[in-house]
């Protein structure tokens, strides 16, 4: 195809998807009472005390941002996991396995005054199997007299035991140096500062009214906002102010430029749509209310869902729908989009401007869902109740049990469930439905992955 410089820039340019800042995660694992929480406390210092002022908050949190020797990382606190989860018995080994899965490097804490127990050995086997880098902390060595007990932990086969006192701080600096040395530094990292204008893609098949809506939004509200961070980027994008707030409309150049019906135009348009979706945080999918849904419409919708972007369905040209047809039309839309009930719908007319003021509230709702995080405590209370009320059906004599769950990331919300067996697709969909009923998530796809443990 005849691609111009501008096209190439739009397709390849800064096509990096917007993701949450990703820092490597260091997990602290070990049996109850070996001093995990005390160590976490020591590493993150004062900030935990602040959190602890609010009862119930501390135990819900598992992930802390921490810093040592100028490096930022996430600290995964598993202290209390086994006590925390309502209705679910999580063994030390299961908690350890979940933590290993979710982290990039591990500190295994052993109580040197007790020595290695069979549970510690079980955890060591899991660590070996995972291949994740690990350092061994021999805790409760409050003075030089404990060094010998610490040295006995060489037996675990994890290399040098770092003798520490989490309580008094003895030796914790050396331990952290060793832990950071094995923590990977290369993480995909795209910073999204809080005050950046949010990025919107207007997508849909040709002639649904994208450029009309763009003109409505940009034409009336257009303010060239030079002073806002992040708006001096791609020339194919445009920053507009809507209801007093700046937004970036992604690839407005692609919408304005009429694509000729030449060979390959479809492919080109679809590629361009894909790029726009990936560069945006939310997609407004335009559909023509005066015509039946087409395969091309559903393909665009799938592109958004697969890319994990938030979404609002915009039914345009509502002015062409007669009063008497509206009810039936709503009904048939409802049926066509039964799988997409989670997406907010806005009926409007780009031509007359009718209901265009309903667009932004829907955008805000979808974006806040996309950003939403459910704490591990709340999630496991929810899972405990769900499993108690509606256990997974028995399959060939076995009943898969969900042991533990955590929201691994946002944008979009991604959940990881640890279970004792394979979960039926229908049961997964049931979990998704319940998650939505409980926590909202209107306007965002949700990803659920299941890790099976014997
Ligand atoms: P967790 O269950 O592994 O999170 O353990 P905690 O951090 O709650 O600690 C359990 C107990 O061990 C608490 O009473 C701590 O005060 C104590 N403890 C933790 N670290 C040390 C240490 O370095 N020396 C001594 N003497 N006690 C410690
Ligand atoms: P695009 O290809 O998606 O950018 O669609 P356009 O914005 O170019 O619109 C295609 C045609 O639909 C044009 O003739 C528009 O005037 C018309 N159109 C767009 N929005 C509306 C609307 O809300 N009502 C009506 N009646 N026509 C519209």
- The pLDDT > 90 percentage for the chain reads 43
Residues with CB under 6 A from ligand 1: 30, 32-38, 79, 139-140, 142, 165-167
Which of 242, 352, 260, 343 has its CA nearest to residue 297? 343
Average pLDDT, the chain: 81
Segment 228-253 mean pLDDT: 73
Cβ atoms within 10 Å, residue 206: 12
Tell me which of 286 and 86 has the higher pLDDT: 286
215 is in an annotated binding site: no
Q: Which residue's CA is the closest to the ligand 2 atom numbered 9?
A: 209
Question: Contact 436/382 with Cβ under 8 angstroms?
Answer: no
208 is in an annotated binding site: yes
Whole-number Å distance, alpha carbon 375 to ligand 1 midpoint, is 25
Segment 142-154 mean pLDDT: 92
Tell me which of 139 and 197 has the higher pLDDT: 139
C-alpha span between 149 and 151 (Å, rounded):
5
For residue 58, the model assigns a pLDDT of 35
DSSP character at residue 321: S
Which atom of ligand 1 approaches the CA of 164 most closely?
A: 23
371 is in an annotated binding site: no
Q: Is the pLDDT of residue 53 over 50?
A: no
- The pLDDT > 70 percentage for the chain reads 79
**Which one of the ligands is nearest to 96 CA?**
1
Which atom of ligand 1 approaches the CA of 166 most closely?
A: 23
Whole-number Å distance, alpha carbon 108 to ligand 2 midpoint, is 62
331 is in an annotated binding site: no
142 is in an annotated binding site: yes
Distances (CA, A) of 386 to 66, 111, 286, 380, 434: 34, 36, 36, 9, 8
Whole-number Å distance, alpha carbon 388 to ligand 1 midpoint, is 34
274 confidence band (pLDDT: 50, 70, 90): confident
Whole-number Å distance, alpha carbon 354 to ligand 2 midpoint, is 14
Whole-number Å distance, alpha carbon 212 to ligand 1 midpoint, is 65
Segment 110-128 mean pLDDT: 94
For residue 276, the model assigns a pLDDT of 87
Question: Contact 415/449 with Cβ under 8 angstroms?
Answer: yes
Segment 196-204 mean pLDDT: 92
Q: Is the pLDDT of residue 386 over 50?
A: yes
Q: Could you read off the pLDDT of 36-50 as tens digits, one per residue? A: 888 988 888 744 433
For residue 67, the model assigns a pLDDT of 84
60 confidence band (pLDDT: 50, 70, 90): very low
173 is in an annotated binding site: no
- C-alpha count within 13 angstroms, C-beta hemisphere, residue 370: 29
Tell me which of 7 and 277 has the higher pLDDT: 277
- What is the SS3 assignment for 355? coil
Question: Contact 435/342 with Cβ under 8 angstroms?
Answer: no
Ranges 41-50, 145-154, 356-365, 386-395: which has the least confidence:
41-50
**Which one of the ligands is nearest to 347 CA?**
2
Q: Mean pLDDT: which of 71-80, 266-275, 311-320, 377-386 is highest?
A: 311-320
**Which one of the ligands is nearest to 139 CA?**
1
Which atom of ligand 2 approaches the CA of 348 most closely?
A: 23
Which atom of ligand 2 approaches the CA of 352 most closely?
A: 23
The ipTM assigned to this model is 0.62
Ranges 157-166, 264-273, 411-420: which has the least confidence:
264-273
251 is in an annotated binding site: yes
Q: Mean pLDDT: which of 238-242, 323-327, 405-409, 443-447 is highest?
A: 443-447
Which of 188, 169, 215, 155 has its CA nearest to residue 39? 169
Burial code (b: 16+ CB inside 10 Å, e: under 16) for 40-65 equals bbbbbeeebeeeeeeeeebbbebbbe
Q: Is the pLDDT of residue 453 over 60?
A: yes
29 confidence band (pLDDT: 50, 70, 90): very high
Q: Is the pLDDT of residue 11 over 50?
A: no
80 is in an annotated binding site: yes
For residue 80, the model assigns a pLDDT of 59
Q: Is the pLDDT of residue 383 over 70?
A: yes
For residue 37, the model assigns a pLDDT of 84
Q: What is the best residue among 27, 28, 29, 33 to mutate for testing ligand 1's pocket, by most ligand atoms within 8 Å of CB?
A: 33
Burial code (b: 16+ CB inside 10 Å, e: under 16) for 239-262 equals bbbbeeebbbbbbbbbbebeeeee
Which atom of ligand 1 approaches the CA of 38 most closely?
A: 7
Q: Which residue's CA is the closest to the ligand 2 atom numbered 19?
A: 209
For residue 22, the model assigns a pLDDT of 62
Q: Which residue's CA is the closest to the ligand 1 atom numbered 12?
A: 35
Q: Is the pLDDT of residue 220 over 50?
A: yes
For residue 409, the model assigns a pLDDT of 85
Segment 233-257 mean pLDDT: 79
Which atom of ligand 2 approaches the CA of 286 most closely?
A: 3
76 confidence band (pLDDT: 50, 70, 90): confident
Q: Is the pLDDT of residue 186 over 60?
A: yes
354 confidence band (pLDDT: 50, 70, 90): very high
Which atom of ligand 1 approaches the CA of 39 most closely?
A: 7
Residues with CB under 6 A from ligand 2: 204, 206-212, 255, 316-317, 319-320, 349-351
**Which one of the ligands is nearest to 269 CA?**
2
DSSP character at residue 34: S
């Amino acid at each position: 195809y005849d691609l111009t410089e501008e096209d190439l820039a739009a397709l390849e340019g800064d096509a990096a998807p917007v993701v949450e800042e990703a820092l490597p995660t260091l997990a602290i694992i070990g049996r109850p009472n070996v001093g995990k929480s005390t160590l976490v406390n020591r590493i993150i210092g004062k900030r935990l005390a602040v959190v602890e002022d609010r009862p119930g908050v501390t135990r819900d949190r598992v992930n802390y941002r921490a810093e040592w020797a100028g490096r930022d990382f996430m600290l995964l606190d598993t202290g209390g996991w086994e006590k925390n989860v309502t209705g679910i018995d999580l063994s030390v080994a299961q908690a350890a396995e979940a933590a290993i899965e979710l982290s990039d490097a591990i500190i295994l804490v052993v109580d040197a005054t007790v020595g290695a127990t069979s549970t510690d050995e079980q955890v060591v086997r899991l660590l070996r199997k995972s291949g994740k880098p690990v350092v061994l902390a021999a805790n409760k060595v409050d003075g030089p007299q404990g060094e010998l007990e610490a040295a006995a932990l060489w037996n675990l086969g994890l290399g040098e035991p770092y003798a520490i006192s989490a309580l008094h701080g003895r030796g914790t600096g050396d331990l952290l140096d060793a832990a950071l040395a094995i923590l990977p530094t290369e993480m995909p990292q795209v910073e999204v500062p809080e005050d950046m204008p949010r990025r919107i893609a207007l997508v849909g098949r040709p002639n649904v009214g994208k450029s009309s809506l763009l003109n409505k939004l940009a034409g009336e509200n257009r303010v060239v906002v030079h002073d806002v961070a992040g708006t001096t980027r791609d020339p194919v994008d445009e920053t507009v102010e809507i209801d007093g707030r700046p937004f970036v409309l992604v690839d407005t150049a692609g919408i304005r430029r009429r694509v000729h019906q030449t060979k390959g135009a479809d492919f080109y348009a679809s590629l361009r749509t894909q790029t726009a979706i990936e560069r945006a945080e939310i997609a407004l999918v335009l559909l023509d209310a005066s015509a039946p849904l087409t395969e091309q419409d559903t393909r665009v919708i799938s592109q958004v869902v697969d890319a994990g972007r938030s979404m609002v369905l915009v039914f345009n040209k509502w002015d062409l729908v007669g009063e008497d047809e509206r009810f039936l039309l709503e009904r048939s839309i409802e049926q066509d989009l039964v799988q997409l009930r989670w997406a907010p719908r806005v009926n409007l007319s780009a031509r007359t401007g009718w209901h265009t003021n309903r667009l932004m509230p829907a955008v805000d709702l979808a974006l806040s869902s996309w950003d939403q995080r459910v704490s591990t405590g709340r999630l496991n209370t929810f899972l405990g109740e769900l499993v108690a009320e509606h256990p997974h059906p028995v399959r060939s004599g076995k009943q898969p049990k969900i042991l533990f769950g955590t929201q691994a990331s946002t944008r979009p919300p991604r959940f990881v469930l640890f279970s004792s067996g394979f979960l039926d697709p229908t049961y997964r969909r049931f979990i998704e439905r319940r998650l939505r009923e409980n926590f909202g998530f209107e306007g965002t796809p949700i990803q659920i992955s299941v890790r099976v443990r014997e």
